[in-house]
Structure 1
C-alpha cells in the first residue's frame, strides 16, 4: 500500500466529515469528528476553495505519482515500512502554512502518513516534507520505545533527525525556516536551561506541545530548533549518517552535552 487515490474521494465529495468517514478505518479508536479536528490542527483544509484548480494541478504535474516514486526510494534506502499515504489540500487560508511552511504540512504515524499541499506547492518542497514525515515513520518503527511512551527528549530528537535527513539528502537551502531561528549558542542554552531540566515531560503533558512549538513564554519552535541543532552537532562529531541513527536511542544522542 502506498499513495491512496484521495483525488477520487475529493471528486466524490470534498466535505470534510465525509472524507474523514473514509479515514475511520485507519483511526479505529477515534470518532469521525475527532479525526477531523486532529487533521485540521496539522494543516488539512477546513473549507476548501479552488478544488478544481487543485485537482488539475495534482493531475497535470503528476504529484501523486511523484510522491509514490519518492516514497519508494526512501523505503528502499531506509528499509522502511509499507504504509498508506494520504494527500489532501492544505488550509490555504493559513498564512503560516502558505509562507513559513512553503505551502505544505505533514503528519506521520507509525502506520500512515498525511501530506497537506497548497495550490502553489512545488515538487522540491513536497520532497522535503515527505522526507521529514517518512523519516518519522521509520524512526518510530526502529526504536524500542513505543510512541505513547515518548518524552520531550524523544520528540526533540525525532524532529531533529527528520530535518537533518532533509539536509543530508537535499542540502541546507531546503531545510525548514525554524532551523535558522537561533544560533548554536542559543540552542545550547535552551537545551541546558529549558529542555533538559524538563526531560521527563511526557507526551500527555500540556507542557509537551508548549516546549515543542514554543508557545507561551517559550521561544518560537523551541523543541524543533533545539533538536535540529543537537542532531546536526552529533552527526558532525561522529560522522554518522541518517541511516546510522534510525534506531539510536535519544538518550545516546544527547550525551554529547
Structure 2
C-alpha cells in the first residue's frame, strides 16, 4: 500500500515539523467526544501526490472499523486535515453502528456511506471543504445515472469488481459516480427530513433512499 522514497521522506519531515500527528490526535479526541465514537488507531503517511480519489491537493484517506489511514501532503493546513478526518472518521462510526462487516457492504451501502460522510464535512467544516464530486454533476444528471447505471446494481458486494468501478467511476462510468450519487441523495434527504449525526450513523442505507425521489429496485 505504501512505499517510502526520498520524496516521501522530505514530506514526512515537513509534516513532523508542523506537528501534524499532534493536530490529528486533537481532532480525533474532539470528534470522539462530540460523536461518542470509538477510540481507534490513526496512521499518517506522506501523500504520493494527487489522484482520482484525493480530495484536494493530494490528500486522501482509507477507513476500517478499528483504524484509519491518512495520506497527507506537506502543505496540509489544519482545517483541511480536520475535513479529511471528519470524512474518514464518519465512516468508522457508521461502519461500527451498522453492525455489518465491511465486506458485506453492498453498492447501496457504499454510496450512502460516502454521501453521509461528505455531508458531515459540509456540516462541521463548511462547504468549501467538500470533495470535488459534490458539484461535478447536476441533480438531473445524477438521477439519469441512477436510473441507467446504478439502480440495477445496488446489491453488488464490496468485493465485486463492478461495485468498485461504479463507486469510483472507472471507465466507462462517469468519474466518481457513486460518490456524487451519494452526496446528491443525502442532499435531497436533508431538504425533506430531519437530519442528525446520530441518525447518519444508525439508519440503514435504504431509509435515506426511501425518503427521496430515488427508487430502489423491487
Deviation at 1:51, TM superposition (A): 4.7
CA contact (8 A) 1:97 1:105 kept: no
- Please report how far the alpha carbon of residue 57 of structure 1 lies from its aligned counterpart in structure 2 after TM superposition: 2.3
Gaps of 5+ in 1: 1-38
User: Conserved in 1, the CA contact under 8 Å of 2:65 and 2:92?
Assistant: yes
Match of 1:178 in 2: 133
Question: TM-score normalized by structure 1?
Answer: 0.77
Counterparts of 2:54 and 2:123 in 1: how far apart (Å)?
23
The TM-score with structure 2 as length reference comes to 0.90
What aligned pairs does 1:38-77 form with structure 2 within 5 A after superposition? 39=1, 44=2, 46-51=3-8, 53-77=10-34
Structure 2: distance between partners of 1:172 and 1:160: 14
What RMSD, in angstroms, separates the aligned Cα atoms of the two structures?
Answer: 1.8
Aligned residues: 212
The runs of 5 or more residues in structure 2 that have no matched partner are none
Select which of 169, 193, 196 maps to 1:241: 196
Deviation at 1:97, TM superposition (A): 6.8
- How far 1:101 sits from its partner (Å)? 3.0
Bigger drift between 230-239 and 150-159 goes to 230-239
- Distance in 2 of aligned mates of 1:49 and 1:97: 23
How many angstroms does 1:217 deviate by?
A: 1.2
- Which deviates the most, 189-198 or 65-74? 189-198
Q: Relative contact order: is structure 1 or structure 2 higher (C-alpha 8 Å, sep ≥ 6)?
A: 2
Partner of 2:45: 88
Greater than 4 Å deviation, 4+ residue runs: 97-100
5 Å matches for 1:129-148? 129-148=84-103
Aligned to 1:252: 207
SS in 2 for 1:145: coil
